[in-house]
Chains A and B, each alone.
Chain A
Amino acid sequence: MKAENISDLDNSPGQNRLNKANKEGILRFLPPLPLFTLQPLLTHIVKSIAKKHPKLFLRLGNSANKTFLINPTNLPFFLILKPDPNNPTLKAHNRRDIIKHDVYIASSFATLLKMIDSKTDSDALFFNREIVVSGDSEAMVALRNALDDMDDSLASDVAASFGPLAPPIRKIFDLVNKA
């Protein structure tokens, strides 16, 4: 995927890091993945969360118009979240894709899962350098606080959104959390 205007990407906070990883990481040997197979799942997740938690967008405020690049560093793709209240989207991209973004958040998949499952504190992750953040700090803080204001956890709500498949998905989350 090509960006329409490469100069627009100069301010995308995670681009240099992604470029470096693409040059050096083992993932560079992998062919592009058929990520379109993931897309229905991701769309289901983001739509069901938006439907269940409409107040999330109030907490996001103007940051709902921002683009968040979420990089699970040990997976062969990254995610682009656009929490637009009218059309929230979550899309998977191959690591070679260049996507303009406002906020960059990176950590291992397990750590990111623990964070959205309210099993760990994001400030503590930052203190310990287990999570890398850069870009629009206001949007980053707003997203963190908006996602934290759920009676259960985002991960539990994601699992619950799959109906009868919720228990096995929850079990997988628990296994990853314990790993």
Chain B
Amino acid sequence: MSELLYADKPELICPAGTPASLKVAVDAGADAIYCGFVGPTNARNFPGLNFSLEEMAKSVGYAHDKGAKLLCAINSFPSAGRTDIWKEAIDNAVSIGVDAIIIADIGMADYMSQKHSNSRIHLSVQAGASSPEAINFYTDRFDIKRVVLPRILTVAEIKKVHDEISCEIEAFIFGNIGMMAEGRCSLTNYVTGQSTNMDGVCSPANFVHYEEDEDQNLTTRLGEFAIDCIGCGQNAGYPTICKGRYNVSHRKEYYAFEEPISLNLTHLLPDLIKAGVTALKIEGRQRSKSYIRSVVSSFRNAVDGYARGETPDISDLLALTEGHKQTEGAFKSKAWR
């Protein structure tokens, strides 16, 4: 048994890539769901994914009817000549009554604070704001209500940030772990010409090719470049350059950037809450309803269990992790490889 940790439970923030996933997340116990419009305005711009304006409006109604909030992610970066697409998305999201808009671009934060001053802004992880000075700039200038912290801070550092800022803190607790400077990864752009940050596509699907040979070795390519060759029986990961294996001067088949692995902070939840985190975020808008149902219900039980002073067991989530491996990443230790 653990100690009873808090009177006010933190919000559980869950992903949804489709209206059906949103309903699953709400029904599984999400306090808030984050999702984005079809197109380049959000950072998960994948084929067949995301919401039309009509779908988003209906989803707001569904969430509110069940006591949940809907957070609209408009968290990619517009380039010159395209800002109208982002502004229209913001206007649309406000018009249908979303509870907050997750913004990364400083220009769009300015647009929103001027045009929709009564609407709530959450600063996206893509903004990469990790110091009290940076976060305070956003709160002072644009009145942001919450910051989603980059996944590069230890729990102790999060506590120090919390003590020096006036807005709420949201932290990732499960899913993809991005150790690159978040919001500024150009690896996909370098190979395909499409930008993760400005087009919302990390490893665009039309550039991804899988080839499995007769011995069941799986080669993954992005454009013309092989980024991994996975032997028969070995676990695979997402087809991203940062998770690829390369032959470098001192090693063969080397994870030169990072290994396929997922963040899982189940056992750090009490520490995060003590550090001042008020919203716990699950990654995975690109994942299926089955993933959403399993992960959201597990973390609902975990958060509620810790609140009752129990230690939850959610070891079954390992099956859903990338590469069948999990880590507490930088939250536990600055060097975690």
Chain A residues whose CB sits within 8 angstroms of the CB of B289 once the complex forms: 118, 148, 153
C-beta contact mask, A133-177 vs B, less than 8 Å → 1, else 0?
Answer: 110111111111110111101000000000000000000000000
C-beta contact mask, A62-88 vs B, less than 8 Å → 1, else 0?
Answer: 010000000000000000000000000
The 3 nearest A-B residue pairs measured at CB: A145-B48, A142-B48, A149-B18
- A60-B48, A118-B288, A127-B322 given; name 4 further pairs at CB < 8 Å: A123-B291, A127-B321, A134-B210, A137-B208
Determine whether the beta carbon of A119 is less than 8 Å from that of B20: no
CB distance from B251 to the nearest CB of A (A): 23
CB distance from B255 to the nearest CB of A (A): 15
18 chain-A/chain-B pairs, Cβ below 8 angstroms: A16-B214, A58-B52, A59-B48, A121-B290, A123-B320, A127-B260, A127-B324, A128-B235, A129-B230, A132-B212, A134-B211, A134-B212, A140-B205, A141-B48, A145-B46, A146-B48, A148-B21, A149-B20
Residue of A59, A122, A139, A149 ringed by the most chain B CB atoms within 10 A: A149
Given A141-B205, A149-B18, is A129 in contact with B236 using a C-beta cutoff of 8 Å?
yes
Which residues from chain A sit less than 8 Å from chain B, CB to CB? Answer: 16-17, 20, 58-61, 63, 118-124, 126-129, 132-134, 136-146, 148-151, 153
Determine whether the beta carbon of B208 is less than 8 Å from that of A144: no
**Cα A127 to Cα B175 with chains together (Å):** 14
Chain B residues whose CB sits within 8 angstroms of the CB of A59 once the complex forms: 18, 48-49
Minimum CB distance partner of B295 in chain A: A121
Chain B residues whose CB sits within 8 angstroms of the CB of A138 once the complex forms: 47, 204-206
Minimum CB distance partner of A59 in chain B: B48
Minimum CB distance partner of A153 in chain B: B289
Minimum CB distance partner of B323 in chain A: A127
Determine whether the beta carbon of B209 is less than 8 Å from that of A137: yes
Any A CB within 8 A of the CB of B78: no
Given A61-B48, A129-B235, is A119 in contact with B290 using a C-beta cutoff of 8 Å?
yes
**Cα A80 to Cα B332 with chains together (Å):** 49
Determine whether the beta carbon of B236 is less than 8 Å from that of A145: no
**Cα A124 to Cα B204 with chains together (Å):** 19
**Cα A123 to Cα B209 with chains together (Å):** 15
Interface residues of B in 271-294 (CB under 8 A from A): 286-291, 293-294
**Cα A120 to Cα B316 with chains together (Å):** 13
Any A CB within 8 A of the CB of B23: yes
Partner of B320, one of A119, A121, A145, A151: A121
CB distance from B237 to the nearest CB of A (A): 7
Determine whether the beta carbon of B291 is less than 8 Å from that of A61: no
Given A118-B288, A145-B18, A148-B289, is A63 in contact with B47 using a C-beta cutoff of 8 Å?
yes
Determine whether the beta carbon of A17 is less than 8 Å from that of B212: yes
Residue of A118, A120, A121, A144 ringed by the most chain B CB atoms within 10 A: A121
Chain B residues whose CB sits within 8 angstroms of the CB of A123 once the complex forms: 238, 286-288, 291, 320, 322
**Cα A123 to Cα B291 with chains together (Å):** 9
Chain A residues whose CB sits within 8 angstroms of the CB of B294 once the complex forms: 121
Determine whether the beta carbon of A143 is less than 8 Å from that of B48: yes
CB distance from A81 to the nearest CB of B (A): 15
Chain A residues whose CB sits within 8 angstroms of the CB of B322 once the complex forms: 123, 127
CB distance from B230 to the nearest CB of A (A): 8
Determine whether the beta carbon of A145 is less than 8 Å from that of B47: yes
Determine whether the beta carbon of A148 is less than 8 Å from that of B20: yes
**Cα A178 to Cα B222 with chains together (Å):** 37
Given A120-B290, A121-B320, A133-B210, is A141 in contact with B47 using a C-beta cutoff of 8 Å?
yes
Any A CB within 8 A of the CB of B319: yes
Partner of B49, one of A121, A132, A145: A145
Given A148-B21, A149-B20, is A124 in contact with B319 using a C-beta cutoff of 8 Å?
yes
Any A CB within 8 A of the CB of B19: yes
Chain B residues whose CB sits within 8 angstroms of the CB of A145 once the complex forms: 17-18, 46-49
**Cα A133 to Cα B219 with chains together (Å):** 11
Chain B residues whose CB sits within 8 angstroms of the CB of A136 once the complex forms: 206
Any A CB within 8 A of the CB of B234: yes
Chain A residues whose CB sits within 8 angstroms of the CB of B319 once the complex forms: 124, 128
Chain B residues whose CB sits within 8 angstroms of the CB of A141 once the complex forms: 46-49, 205
Determine whether the beta carbon of A150 is less than 8 Å from that of B20: yes
Any A CB within 8 A of the CB of B187: no
